[in-house]
Homo-oligomer: A and B are copies of this chain.
Amino acid sequence: MEIKTIPDIVVGRLPIYLRALQRMLEEGRKVTSSQELGERLGISAAQIRKDLSQFGEFGKQGTGYSIDYLSEQISAILKVDRVWDVAVVGAGDIGSAVARYQGLANRGFRITMIFDDDPAKIGTEIGQFIVQDAAEMERLIAEANIVIAMIAVPSSEAQGVADRLVKAGVKAIVNYAPISINVPEGIYVQYIDPVIHLQRMTYYL
């Protein structure tokens, strides 16, 4: 079997396509086209066709894409045709909002634990969770075979938490702390920092 490396920027667009397709399914739609997807997303139809063609043949010229089939295929490519357990570290404003966020369901993820090291927070309820002692983090994450975590602690603590998560077996981290963290080869980090997004736009204003 030929293994072909897909550019990271293409991989990064697949979740956007999937989100739009799932929205169309919710709207009761059955068939779409690269034109329609492109208009919804502000991406050219040619780009969408080219991206999808990297992974196979998903539609016939002239008849468009079956939304159901295409979203199943993209889910499988992204490995979100299953449910991944996710641990959240930090039960402050952002960690709490993330833990209560309903938007993970049906998109491949489920938060299963939230940790904090503040004695005033440990044992309290956030949505359906009881905040657990961060001292137990490595053990509980490793026992549950969790490989995905979200960091929502102050910047000064983010690197230390990341190191502990990696030791516990975590392979993919979403970091809400506004600081770059260093992780070993083979561990993936994505950043969510609203200021980075804002500053990207002010350049153009």
Contacts and interface: CB of A to CB of B under 8 A. Distances in A.
Contacts of A40: 180, 182
Nearest to A75: B199
A79 B109 contact: no
Given A40-B182, A179-B19, A180-B40, A14 B199 contact: yes
A167 interface: no
A198 B170 CA distance: 13
A197 interface: yes
Contacts of A62: none
Interface centre among A96, A148, A172 (most CB of B within 10 A): A172
B94 A101 contact: yes
Contact of A174 (B79, B171, B194): B194
Interface stretch (A45-53, A134-142, A185-193): A185-193
A178 B15 CA distance: 11
Contact of A12 (B11, B107, B147, B200): B200
Interface string A14-55: 111011100100000000000000011110000000000000
Contact of A98 (B19, B23, B84, B194): B194
B172 A202 contact: yes
Nearest to A171: B205
A150 interface: yes
Interface of A: 11-12, 14-16, 18-20, 23, 39-42, 77-80, 84, 86, 93-94, 96-98, 100-101, 103-104, 107-109, 147-148, 150, 155, 171-172, 174, 178-180, 182, 188, 190-205
Given A23-B155, A42-B180, 15 more contacts: A11-B203, A16-B180, A20-B180, A39-B182, A42-B182, A103-B194, A103-B195, A104-B195, A109-B195, A148-B201, A171-B201, A171-B205, A188-B205, A190-B200, A190-B201
